Amino acid sequence: MSWSDHCIAALAEAKLFENYGHKTRFKELLDCYADYPFFTKGLCKCMYLSAWDEDHFCIMLETLTNMSLGKETDTNDMRIQGDVLAEREPDAGYYVFQLSNAFLDNAPFQLDENAQIDPVNMHIIRQALQASEIIDSI
């Protein structure tokens, strides 16, 4: 079993895919980009997070396609883009992009005490943090 297959199986066993679409989008990203030199566990965590919905999946797919065409070997430019996108996002969206950046930096993620996050986005953040632990253990 490949690392990607093991990852998908572990996340599925933990019931961390919100629905079939989430799992399918995540698998598509892994299948396409897991063998590129810029792939890391941090990027894998971002893939999980971006696969949550079609809009963020499309952003990730475009970014990864451009990285693969540009022969990128790391996620430094992606990290810079994450900062730019975070500043454009109101409230909860800001924290989701900050979580992605923490994943890319392999750094812990802390929510601000005063963070105003709706229940839907809080659920996404919590699920992504659980998925992060599983991905790190593979």
**Looking at per-residue confidence, does 21 or 115 come out higher?**
21
Mean pLDDT of the residues in the chain: 93
Question: 33 with 11: CB under 8 angstroms?
Answer: no
What's the pLDDT score for residue 125?
A: 95
Measured distance CA(110)–CA(117) in Å, rounded: 13
Tens of pLDDT, residues 49-58: 999 999 989 9
Q: Per-residue confidence at 83, pLDDT binned at 50, 70, 90?
A: confident
Question: 44 with 30: CB under 8 angstroms?
Answer: yes
**Nearest to 78, CA basis, from 90, 92, 94, 62:** 62
Q: What is the token pair recorded at 108?
A: 């812990």
What's the pLDDT score for residue 1?
A: 87
What's the pLDDT score for residue 126?
A: 95
Measured distance CA(15)–CA(64) in Å, rounded: 26
- Domains of the chain, by residue range, sit at 3-137
What's the pLDDT score for residue 107?
A: 95
- The helix (H) or strand (E) run that includes residue 121 is helix 119-137
